């Protein structure tokens, strides 16, 4: 499986999504276990490229502003 290295960028993306949706809802929308999302956020597991693209799609869907990035 093609995986991205553990990255602080992934953690930031998840933090912003979590701030907008809440952790449980974010995991539900991504159709993954909360424990997996937590592992990605905390840098304990690498994110498969396809899953990273799903994170980006969700981020775009949420219409995140620069202010949202600054708060995370």
Task: Tell me which residue range forms the domain holding 18.
Answer: 8-66
Quote the pLDDT of residue 32: 96
Residue 55 is assigned to a structural domain of this protein: yes
Residue 33 is assigned to a structural domain of this protein: yes
Quote the pLDDT of residue 36: 95
Which whole-number Å values give the CA distances from 39 to 22, 36, 65, 70, in the listed order? Answer: 16, 5, 25, 23
The number of distinct structural domains making up the chain is 1
Residue 1 is assigned to a structural domain of this protein: no
Mean pLDDT by 10 residues, the chain (72 residues): 68 90 95 94 87 93 75 59
Residue 71 is assigned to a structural domain of this protein: no
Quote the pLDDT of residue 71: 64
Which whole-number Å values give the CA distances from 8 to 14, 44, 61, in the listed order? Answer: 10, 11, 21
């Amino acid at each position: 499986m093609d995986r991205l290295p553990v990255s602080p960028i992934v953690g930031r993306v998840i933090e912003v999504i979590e701030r907008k949706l809440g952790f449980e809802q974010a995991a539900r929308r991504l159709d993954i276990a909360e424990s997996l999302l937590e592992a990605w956020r905390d840098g304990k597991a690498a994110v498969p490229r396809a899953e990273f693209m799903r994170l980006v799609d969700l981020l775009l869907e949420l219409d995140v502003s620069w202010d949202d990035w600054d708060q995370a």
